[in-house]
Amino acid sequence: MSVELQERPESKAETEEQLTDGFHLLIDALKLNGLNTIYGVPGIPITDFGRLAQASGMRVLSFRHEQHAGNAAAIAGYLTKMPGLCLTVSAPGFLNGLTALANATTNCFPMILLSGSSEREIVDLQQGDYEEMDQLAIAKPLCKAAFRVLHAEDIGIAVARAIRAAVSGRPGGVYLDLPAKLFGQVMNADAGAKSLVKVIDPAPEQLPSQASVKRALDVIKSAKKPLIILGKGAAYAQADDVVKSFVEKSGIPFLPMSMAKGLLPDMHQQNAGAARSLVLKESDVVIMVGARLNWLLSHGKGKSWGEPGSKRFVQIDIEPREMDSNVEIAAPLVGDIGSCLGELLTAMGDQFPAAPDGWISAVNTKREANTAKMNQRLGSDTTPMDFHTALGALREIMQQRPDAMLVNEGANTLDFARSIINMSKPRKRLDVGTWGIMGIGMGAAVAAAVETGHPVLAVEGDSAFGFSGMEVETICRYNLPVCIVVFNNNGIYRGTDENNNGDGDVAPTVFVKNSRYDKMMEAFGGVGVYATTRDELTTAVNEAMDTGKPTLINAVIDENAGTESGRIGNLNPQSVVKK
Ligand code: ADP
Ligand code: MG
């Protein structure tokens, strides 16, 4: 019988071994874990991987430069709590992506950089391979974890490790090194399928100890002038309800860090943003919720924090080593935001210590005075526009469109927009983050559109826009609902610097006067608008947000407007020697 069976052609096919390869195993491993979107740039040796991934139903978005693909992946990670994927070629492509990976790690955003690499044997003997580089070694110090996969049967485990490393504990960037040879390795399809791992509970809850909860509560109860600082870790945690309950039940004024804006609405009566200097200086107990005492908060000390020794800190963070990083933390609460605040709320029961009245009214008085001052300036309608005129218009638009995503980078454009544009929902504001870098704009805008489906308003300084400007083609290619407003004041900080050395060059901070950034968008089929007045700007943005058409509005801003380094001029050394 068996002889007879073997002679039948269809039976022959039955006994033929089904095969899979590195390409397919990697795609299957990612999809099995719900990772269905790749941001990248094709090339050797990952071109076919991108094609096959797309053919398998994944969304594969190609960029013009890896750094922007990487920034998109990082933002996808921030918005979804699963690692965003960035795919690059070897050496230079890898290095371009690495900037974004390091930035993601610094910001505690989960992402995985998948880079093709050259042949190990040649790279390790430094025999000069095509794009030779020991990528694993270079990536290691710049991210949370780095792995190399040499055998197709290890792809499942490698992807699982990468996911866990990216999202568990403090999130961050992971590098996965994929030598060219790996993709073509063939193995039995059944064995391949069995080698894949679906990660169970990739970011497990982390509960604080009861002792630490009690300690924190004791410190909070002792406060006469308490303050809550919400950071982007709190936004990332997606524990929005418990954050809101904690803030509202306690009645304590809160200060949102820039990407935590909207976690509670900026218009919330407990928002002390408009009384920032007062609350930092005068508070006696500061409850840090997913925010670090880094340079953005003057390291928790110095003049802006009032008298030395006048504060005690409660800090909630998933990373134990964050505690005491800059100042002593009286009550460290180590765990995830949802669990920590949940435990605090339970421990407090109904006996929540009320925030003292005198403190609340002092904060309110200051906030109202500062808000009134600001509102007066925002009504301005100067032509050419200054920052307040243009941002006054954008603020109104964002108020009417609470679901829209906001991307913001620049110097003055960043500083003014951060304080002027109110956010009303969590995780809607994406900006320069912990490093305060330029260049995140278009990557963040693409990810915001792709991951949320909501319209995106990107408010960009003319200098900041330049770092990722070529990605307007990407935005047009995928027809994404992104409206970019370039604040064009002819230069970095402003457009009026002069060079007196006689060589005919312009000053290092000055760009081509009256550039037409709007034409860049038109070149790729998008809508370009040249706006010189508040009305023109308002009309154009509303139209873009309504139609969802890729749009770039060149907003002409007075070239005298703007100060050196925006609000961080203190970090910019300036020579006082006259020569
Ligand atoms: P910001 O710049 O807004 O102040 P940071 O990036 O400095 O925010 O701080 C974010 C903090 O949040 C980091 O210390 C990080 O460890 C922490 N964090 C991130 N995710 C969580 C989470 N789910 N639970 C608790 N802490 C978190
Ligand atoms: Mg400028």
Q: Which atom of ligand 1 is nearest to the CA of 229?
A: 4
Per cent of the chain over pLDDT 90 is 90
Same domain, 176 and 245: no
Same domain, 555 and 491: yes
ω into residue 45 within 30 of 0, thus cis? yes
Out of 105, 296, 318, give the residue to mutate to test ligand 1, the one with the largest number of ligand atoms within 8 Å of its CB: 318
Question: Quick one: pLDDT at residue 12?
Answer: 56
Within a domain: residue 36? yes
Give yes or no for residue 11 having a pLDDT over 60.
no
Same domain, 108 and 256: no
Within a domain: residue 46? yes
Q: Per-residue pLDDT averaged across 39-44, rounded?
A: 98
579 pLDDT tier (thresholds 50, 70, 90)? confident
Does residue 43 come out as left (phi exceeding 0), alpha (psi in the -120 to 50 range) or beta? left
Contact yes or no for 315/329 (Cβ under 8 A) = yes
For the chain, helix, strand, coil in percent to 5 are: 45, 15, 35
Q: Among the three residues 365, 388, 403, which one is the final residue of a domain in this structure?
A: 365
CATH number at residue 507: 3.40.50.970
10 pLDDT tier (thresholds 50, 70, 90)? low
Whether 467 is in the pocket of ligand 1, judged by its Cβ within 6 Å, is: no
- 445-503 residue pLDDT tens: 999 999 999 999 999 999 999 999 999 999 999 999 999 999 999 999 888 999 999 99
CATH number at residue 313: 3.40.50.1220
Strands 186-188 and 19-21: antiparallel
Same domain, 555 and 453: yes
Question: Quick one: pLDDT at residue 4?
Answer: 47
DSSP labels for 202-257?
SS---PPPHHHHHHHHHHHHT-SSEEEEE-HHHHHTT-HHHHHHHHHHHT--EEE-
Within a domain: residue 370? no
Give me the phi and psi of 534, to 5 degrees please: -60, -40
Token pair for residue 222?
Answer: 């002792």
Residues 6+ apart with CB under 8 A from 503: none
Give yes or no for residue 2 having a pLDDT over 70.
no
Residue nearest to atom 21 of ligand 1 (CA): 233
Q: How far is CA 293 from the centre of its chain?
A: 18
Same domain, 354 and 422: no
Same domain, 458 and 503: yes
User: Nearest ligand to the C-alpha of residue 556?
Assistant: 2
In the numeric block, the tokens 């524990």 are attached to 239
User: Nearest ligand to the C-alpha of residue 105?
Assistant: 1
Average pLDDT over the chain reads 95
Contact yes or no for 317/214 (Cβ under 8 A) = no
Q: Among the three residues 319, 339, 365, which one is the final residue of a domain in this structure?
A: 365
Within a domain: residue 202? no
How many whole angstroms separate alpha carbon 264 and alpha carbon 240? Answer: 8
Question: Quick one: pLDDT at residue 8?
Answer: 54
Q: Which atom of ligand 1 is nearest to the CA of 319?
A: 16
ω into residue 110 within 30 of 0, thus cis? no
Same domain, 357 and 386: no
Enclosing domain of residue 327: 210-365
Same domain, 146 and 22: yes
CB half-sphere exposure, 234, CA atoms < 13 A = 34
Tally of structural domains, the chain: 3
Per cent of the chain over pLDDT 70 is 97
Question: Quick one: pLDDT at residue 1?
Answer: 40
Question: Quick one: pLDDT at residue 351?
Answer: 77
Nearest CA to 441 among 382, 487, 394, 374?
487
Give yes or no for residue 62 having a pLDDT over 50.
yes
Give yes or no for residue 9 having a pLDDT over 90.
no
307 pLDDT tier (thresholds 50, 70, 90)? very high
Residue nearest to atom 18 of ligand 1 (CA): 233
Question: Quick one: pLDDT at residue 573?
Answer: 86
Contact yes or no for 507/497 (Cβ under 8 A) = yes
Same domain, 28 and 155: yes
User: Nearest ligand to the C-alpha of residue 489?
Assistant: 2
Same domain, 88 and 62: yes
Give yes or no for residue 7 having a pLDDT over 60.
no
User: 11-25, 148-162, 381-395, 539-553: lowest mean pLDDT where?
Assistant: 11-25
Q: Which residues of 248-278 are buried (b: 16+ CB within 10 A; e: fewer)?
A: eebbbbbbbbbbbbbbbbbebebbbbbbeeb
Same domain, 187 and 214: no
Within a domain: residue 371? no
Within a domain: residue 432? yes
Same domain, 322 and 414: no
Give yes or no for residue 13 having a pLDDT over 60.
no
Angle, CA of 11, 14 and 19, to the nearest 5° = 150
Residue type at position 452: T
Whether 319 is in the pocket of ligand 1, judged by its Cβ within 6 Å, is: yes
- 75-130 residue pLDDT tens: 999 999 999 999 999 999 999 999 999 999 999 999 999 999 999 999 999 999 99
Give yes or no for residue 3 having a pLDDT over 70.
no
Q: Among the three residues 335, 365, 395, which one is the final residue of a domain in this structure?
A: 365
Within a domain: residue 372? no
Give yes or no for residue 140 having a pLDDT over 90.
yes
Question: Quick one: pLDDT at residue 159?
Answer: 99
Question: Quick one: pLDDT at residue 5?
Answer: 47
Within a domain: residue 374? no
578 pLDDT tier (thresholds 50, 70, 90)? confident
